[in-house]
């Protein structure tokens, strides 16, 4: 007889809803912070001024070269000695700053992929560099970045499980706690896995829908 009883999954499935909401909350804030800071980093990274480009390069190198869990612990325990910060804000900040390094490279590639002739055309019309960037380059760059940003969002959703290291009651922590109290750890972890699969599948469907709309838009323009 198996020591696992997966027939209990329906009995506990709905109790994971609050933990799932917390997972979504951590993911959303992590991505929002990542997009804002990532765009700033991308613009710094492509700047002709070394005083801007070098710090951006160093930041991206450090964040991409160290584990997210380490960054989360450094922010949580390090900032406590400087400012009073709770576990939830520290998780938002750590995930946001981590995502920013990857999103910065996504934006950088998208921006640099815009034909130089479009920038020159804007400048020839009397637009400033800032206006060319805001009105011509960035709108196209955002559109090109959508597939990669969608992938980063799914990665961020799964990375949110590391927030359990600072006692954030997200899916993985709740599954472990409930598994310990019911002596059904494998079953509870299976429920968490189902929730992750549902959420990542929904995000994938939404991302594919957005990409199709953008492709249709581009096709109509070309016609």
Q: Which two tokens stand for residue 153?
A: 């969002």
Q: Determine the topology of domain 6-222 in CATH.
A: MetI-like fold (1.10.3720)
Report the alpha-carbon angle 130-134-136, nearest 5: 110
The predicted pLDDT at position 219 comes to 41
Report pLDDT for 80: 62
User: Look-up: residue for tokens 């016609």?
Assistant: 223
CA distances 108 to 40, 51, 53, 56, 103, Å, are 10, 17, 12, 11, 8
Give the per-residue pLDDT at 87. 83
pLDDT tens column, 50-65? 999 999 999 999 999 9
pLDDT at res. 107: 92
Among 2-6, 86-90, 129-133, 182-186, whose mean pLDDT is lowest? Answer: 2-6
The answer to whether the beta carbons of residues 95 and 168 sit under 8 Å apart is no
Least confident range of 33-37, 75-79, 182-186, 200-204: 75-79
167: left (phi over 0), alpha (psi -120 to 50) or beta: left
Of how many residues is the chain composed? 223
The whole-number average pLDDT for the span 9-31 is 93
Pick the closest to residue 16 from 169, 162, 180 (CA basis): 169
Percent share of the chain, pLDDT over 70: 94
Residue 113, pLDDT score: 84
pLDDT band at 90 (very low <50, low <70, confident <90, very high): confident
Sign for the CA dihedral angle at 107, 110, 112, 116 comes to: negative
Output 153 or 4, whichever has higher pLDDT. 153
Q: Is the pLDDT of residue 68 over 60?
A: yes
Task: Summarize the confidence of residues 138-151 as an average pLDDT.
Answer: 87
Q: Which residues contact 208 (CB under 8 A, 6 or more apart)?
A: none
Q: Does the pLDDT at position 9 exceed 90? A: no
């Amino acid at each position: 007889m198996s020591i696992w009883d997966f027939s209990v999954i329906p009995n506990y499935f709905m109790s994971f809803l609050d933990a799932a909401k917390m997972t979504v909350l951590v993911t959303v804030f992590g991505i929002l912070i990542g997009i804002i800071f990532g765009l700033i980093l991308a613009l710094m990274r492509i700047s002709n001024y070394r005083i801007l480009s070098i710090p951006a390069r160093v930041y991206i190198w450090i964040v991409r070269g160290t584990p997210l869990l380490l960054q989360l612990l450094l922010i949580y325990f390090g900032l406590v000695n400087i400012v009073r910060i709770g576990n939830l804000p520290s998780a938002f900040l750590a995930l946001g700053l981590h995502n920013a390094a990857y999103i910065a490279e996504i934006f950088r590639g998208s921006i640099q992929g815009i034909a130089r002739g479009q920038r020159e055309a804007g400048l020839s019309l009397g637009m400033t560099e800032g206006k060319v960037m805001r009105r011509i380059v960035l709108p196209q760059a955002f559109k090109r970045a959508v597939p990669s940003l969608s992938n980063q969002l799914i990665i961020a959703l799964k990375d949110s499980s590391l927030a359990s290291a600072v006692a954030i009651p997200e899916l993985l922590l709740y599954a472990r706690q409930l598994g310990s109290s019911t002596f059904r750890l494998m079953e509870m972890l299976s429920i968490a896995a189902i929730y992750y699969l549902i959420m990542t599948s929904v995000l994938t469907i939404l991302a594919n829908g957005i990409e199709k709309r953008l492709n249709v838009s581009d096709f109509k323009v070309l016609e």
